[in-house]
Structure 1
Amino acid sequence: MKRYVNKTVLVTGSSQGIGAACALRMASEGAKVILNGRKLDERGEALIRAITEMGSKAEFITADISITAEAVRLVNEATGVFGALDILVNNAGVEKKHDFWDVTEEEYDLVMDTNLKGVFFGIQAFVKYCMAGKKPGVIVNMSSVHEEIIFPHFAAYCASKGGLKMLTRNLATELAPYQIRINNVAPGAISTPINKSLLENKELLNSVLENIPMKRLGKPEDVAAIVAFLASDEAAYVTGSTYFVDGGLTWHYEEQ
């Protein structure tokens, strides 16, 4: 089923991992895709080739989401690449591990600027575009199970995702009269490059798996499937929600 024929989607932070999986999934269903990263490298080039081979179209726009002006420029440029922009997937994000008392202002700013501030103003640019054209729009934010559960040594990250949770709920109400939907997807432990150290540490990995009732890590494709649903017309009556993709982790979590 081609749910995205004549639709264009922007996926931020889409060079690898979950972002790349989202881009590929939506392209496979007919979407024209605008990819994003801080630089275009062999990963982005490979994605463009893969999407083109599917029979769809892809372009790459470089931008650093942690810089507000860059986040706004990205959205504004994306609206003109294929003539329209229908869906915004805010996937780009960072985390920094430190004891709370060792977190620097620079590290805090990087996490908050990337995960919350850049997302905030990127959404604002998209909403202004939709309102100016009197057209509906769909926003899907990549949150985390840590919008809900604790993550010791990642205080700034948890604060950013908790903020994203409330931003999404607030905007769902404010944007609904304009036919703009917004939802969060909250991955748990997913096998991606950001979890490389976890994957290489058997003892730590086993500890994590003990907290997951399904006893496995998720795949980027597991997350992309939910993003593709929420961005589609099948979710036309869904807004202001968070969908957990965690194998049951959230309500089974125990800090070791």
Structure 2
Amino acid sequence: MFELNGKIAVVTGASSGLGRDAALAYANEGANVCVLARRVEKIESLAKEIKNLGVESIAIKCDVTKEEEIKTAVEAIINRFGRIDILLNNAGIAVRGGVDTLSEEDWDKSMDTNVKGIYLVSKYVIPIMKNQNYGKVVNISSINALLADKSDIFIRHSYNASKAAVLGLSKGMAASYAKFGITVNSICPGLFESEMTEDTLFKSQEFLKSYNMLCPASRPAKKGELNGTILYFSSDASSYVTGQHIVVDGGLSIV
């Protein structure tokens, strides 16, 4: 049920971290993977790695805040593969600051990447999935859509707001497109090591000690521990699941 043999998967924000891991997980399950990001060298290297696993892959430069780049990317994917079965909306950023300190530019940057980016990519992929009468959309939200923290490290009000919006958008999409054989679900990761977190959270021993004490798992997530949930929502194992979110946080949100 979790096999993806012959499926065409699209991953945004694939140049590093959770997106890169997910692209490789898709390939290991037999999917052909289209990797999209702004950093061309990184995704071209990833595409070569994916091809070495025995499937096809293309790397396409794409900024999810720019509609023309998205349109061009989707056209290139259709010209190459003829369909899109899976869309992982993973591209995201985290800008630090509260509403009393954030600039309007930083607020807009968060909203444009984390929310508008999902809207724009989906705008061009959903019609393809509707024509196929099949599609799996997985939107990456965050535990910070559900929880706030008073720690100075975690004051990221635009991140809280944008990731909460992802949950609402996912539910709306799920309700509208289920009749076309499309499921739309979201994932709320807890603390994973990535470019977004390594320069702040993982460099603070005080923060990590506090996190480990609060989290029932007593540790941050390990590399690859989000892949199982991504594969579940991306495969026919979740054929009757839509409009839902799964929190992958080692139990932090239950205490």
Partner residue in 1 for 2:218: 215
For normalisation by structure 1, the TM-score amounts to: 0.92
Structure 1 residue 111: deviation in Å?
0.6
Query: Deviations for 1:182-211, whole angstroms, at most 9, x for unmatched residues?
Result: 000110001222111221221111112222
**1:4-31 Cα deviation digits (max 9, x unpaired):** 1110000000111100110000100100
Which digits, 9 at most, give the CA deviation of each residue in 1:24-74, with x for residues without a partner?
001001000000111211x32332222111111111010111223333433
Aligned to 2:106: 107
Total equivalences in the alignment? 250
Cα distance in 1 between the residues matched to 2:26 and 2:164: 27
Q: State the partner residue of 1:148.
A: 146
Q: Aligned partners of 1:223, 1:23: CA distance in 2, in Å?
A: 12
Q: Which amino acid letter does the alignment assign opposite residue 235 of structure 1?
A: S
Runs of 5+ consecutive residues of structure 2 not aligned to the other structure: none
Residue 187 of structure 1, aligned match among 180, 183, 189: 189
Residue matched to 2:8 = 8
1:15–1:243 Cα change, 3 Å: same
Question: What code does the residue aligned with 1:40 have?
Answer: V
Tell me how far apart the structure 2 counterparts of residues 55 and 134 of structure 1 sit (CA, whole Å).
25
Amino acid at match of 2:29: E
Q: What does 1:1-256 align with in structure 2 at a 5 Å threshold?
A: 3-41=3-41, 43-131=42-130, 133-152=131-150, 153-196=155-198, 197-252=200-255
**Distance (Å, rounded) in 2 between the aligned partners of 1:75 and 1:186:** 26
> After superposition, what is the alpha-carbon deviation per residue over 1:204-233, rounded to whole angstroms, capped at 9, x for unaligned?
111122221101111241112210111001
CA apart distance, 1:151: 4.2
State how far apart, in whole Å, the 2-side matches of 1:44 and 1:125 are. 21
1: distance between equivalents of 2:162 and 2:149?
Answer: 12
Counterpart-to-counterpart distance in 2, 1:204 and 1:155:
19
Q: Which amino acid aligns with 1:93?
A: G
Identity of aligned residues (%): 30
- Please report how far the alpha carbon of residue 2 of structure 1 lies from its aligned counterpart in structure 2 after TM superposition: 7.0
CA contact (8 A) 1:188 1:247 kept: yes
Query: Aligned equivalents of 1:155 and 1:149: distance in 2?
Result: 11
Q: Using the alignment, how far apart are the partners of 2:212 and 2:71 within structure 1?
A: 39
Q: Which amino acid aligns with 1:104?
A: S
**Distance change (3 Å), C-alpha of 1:210 and 1:75:** farther
The letter of the residue matching 2:108 is D
* 1:72/1:119 CA distance change after superposition, 3 Å: farther
Change (3 A) 1:106 1:29: same
Q: CA RMSD in A?
A: 1.6
Write the distance in 2 (CA, Å) between the matches of 1:174 and 1:2. 25
TM, length-normalised to structure 2: 0.93
Shift of 1:105: 1.1
Contact in 1 for aligned 2:65/2:120 (Cα 8 Å): no
Maintained 8 Å contact 1:145/1:246: yes
8 Å Cα contact 1:66/1:110 also seen in 2? no
